[in-house]
Structures are given as C-alpha cells and as structure tokens.
C-alpha cells in the first residue's frame, strides 16, 4: 500500500524550521527564502521586495492572490484554507512559471485548473478538500489541464469529483511516478488508470489495499476496495466472495483497456 501522506510530506526534503512567519513585512530580511503567512492580508505585493524567495505558504486569511506578482525564484507554494472570497481563480499562478511544488488545500470556489497548464516545471501537485469534511466533494471542471504537465512526478487529488471526462485525462500521464486519487470514482475509472499507468505507484491503481483494521469476527486485516462499491471496507476472509468478485471485476476492466500491460 502506498501511504496517504500529509500535505507537508509532499516535499519530504523540505526544512520546515527555515520558514519565517510573516507578522510585519518590515521584519522580514531582504534575503528571505522561506516565508509563511498566517494572518489576513490585503495584498501580496510586498513579496516583490524579496527576490530570493523560493518557498511560500499562505495559511488562512483572505489573501488576495490576484496581487501575486511574478516571482522568478519561487519554486514551492502552499495555499491552505483560503476563504471563498479570497480565491476564485488560479489564473495568477500562471505567472509563477518556475513553481515545482504546489499544494492547494480547501479552495471551494476554484473550479478550473486551466491556469496550471502554464506551470511547465511542476513536479509535485496536491489538491485536497479540508480534512474536516469527509463527505463533501470539491467539484472541478476537468483534469485535462494537467495532462500536459510532462515534468509532473507526483499527483495527489483528494476529496474531489470531476464534471467532465472524469479521470480519463490522467491516463495520458505515463510519466507519473506516484498517484493518489480519492476512492469516489467508479471501478472502471481506476482499472483503466491501472492499465494505462503500469509503472506508476499508488494505492488507487490496485483492486484492493489493506487498511490496518482487524475484522471483529476473525481479526484478519480488512481491505479497502478501490472503486465505488458497497461495502467499501471488507474482510477478505469473512467476505471472501464479495472481495473476490470485486478483484475479478477490476482485473477484467483493466484487461479490457486497449493499453493494458501484461501481467
């Protein structure tokens, strides 16, 4: 099983202690490289005064991303828990062309990923809904804008649904090394992905995955069945027939895909 990492783990090599929390712009040294903004601000324009800034996090507040000026050195950005009035479009991000890592966390009014198509150096991308809402899905227009990001190595999509084309655009991204998609799509969607991306790692590319929960009856470890089904969590021993049918259907759908790899 590929673990579902926390948002901070998308860049495990990042030194979190180096981030300076911005309280007053006047206190920030001119050569700052790692900044975190955790209070409401009216403008990000002062960022232009820090030409060596490479890593930026914005936590909450009502930051106006429309004031984000091009930052040629910026390579990682995290937007977290921005209220709906704070961000309705990702268009300003198309100016930050050197971004390598991007985390978008709970941006309920953002529907289009089109501006991300300009981020041709992006390696890691995480889009997720707030973890405190486990039943609500964030609807995106389409994942098609991601299909052209040929440098992308790691993609994590959590708490989302898609209005057009579903997961089909991801089938083109054979260069992905790691993929996580929330288990709220059909079994056929995940089976096609598994066939199209034979070298990509990720729990969503397998018919079932252990969840570390023992069965009340036999103590055997339960598994999560990939693809929308009921029940989603099952015991491979007590519910063997259900699990076997699910796995067989997943493999059948995978084999039916024209680009399916051999065993």
Higher pLDDT, 47 or 67: 47
Residue whose entry in the numeric block shows the structure tokens 């027939």: 241
Residue 262 has a pLDDT of 42
pLDDT band at 263 (very low <50, low <70, confident <90, very high): very low
pTM here is 0.83
Residue 67 has a pLDDT of 62
pLDDT band at 70 (very low <50, low <70, confident <90, very high): low
Least confident of 19-28, 51-60, 153-162: 51-60
The helix/strand/coil state of 217 is: coil
What is the per-residue pLDDT across 140-188, written as a single tens digit (0 to 9) for each? 999 999 999 999 999 999 989 999 999 999 999 999 999 999 999 999 9
Ranges of each domain in the chain: 7-182, 206-263
What is the per-residue pLDDT across 196-240, written as a single tens digit (0 to 9) for each? 999 999 999 999 999 999 999 999 999 999 998 889 999 999 999
CA angle 70, 72, 76 (to 5 degrees): 95
Find the mean pLDDT for residues 91-112: 85
CB half-sphere exposure, 79, CA atoms < 13 A: 25
Higher pLDDT, 40 or 151: 151
Distance CA 220, CA 237 (A): 7
Question: Does the structure show a pLDDT above 70 at 9?
Answer: no
CATH 3.80.10.10 fits 7-182, yes or no: yes
Q: What percent of the chain has pLDDT over 90?
A: 50
Distance CA 97, CA 13 (A): 22
Cis upstream peptide for 231 (omega within 30°): yes
- Give the residue from 249, 225, 223, 250 showing the smallest Cα distance to 235: 223
């Amino acid at each position: 099983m590929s673990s579902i990492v926390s948002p901070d783990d998308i860049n495990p090599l990042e030194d979190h202690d180096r981030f300076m929390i911005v309280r007053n712009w006047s206190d920030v040294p001119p050569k700052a490289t790692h900044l975190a903004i955790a209070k409401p601000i009216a403008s990000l324009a002062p960022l232009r005064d820090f030409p060596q800034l490479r890593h930026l996090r914005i936590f909450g507040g009502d930051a106006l991303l429309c004031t984000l000026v091009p930052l040629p050195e910026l390579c990682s950005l995290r937007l977290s828990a921005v209220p709906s009035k704070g961000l309705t479009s990702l268009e300003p991000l198309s100016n930050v062309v050197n971004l390598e890592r991007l985390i978008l966390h709970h941006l309920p009014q953002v529907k289009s990923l089109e501006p991300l198509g300009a981020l041709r150096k992006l390696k890691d991308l995480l889009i997720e809904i707030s973890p405190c809402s486990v039943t609500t899905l964030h609807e995106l227009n389409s994942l098609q804008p991601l299909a052209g990001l040929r440098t992308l190595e790691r993609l994590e999509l959590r708490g989302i649904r898609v209005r057009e084309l579903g997961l089909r655009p991801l089938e083109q991204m054979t260069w992905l090394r790691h993929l996580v998609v929330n288990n709220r799509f059909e079994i056929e969607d995940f089976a096609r992905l598994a066939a199209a991306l034979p070298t990509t790692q990720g729990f969503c590319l397998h018919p079932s995955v252990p969840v570390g929960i023992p069965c009340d009856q036999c103590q055997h470890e339960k598994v999560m069945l990939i693809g929308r089904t009921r029940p989603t969590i099952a015991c491979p021993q007590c519910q063997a027939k259900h699990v076997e049918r699910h796995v067989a259907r997943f493999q059948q759908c995978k084999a039916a895909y024209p680009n399916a790899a051999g065993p």
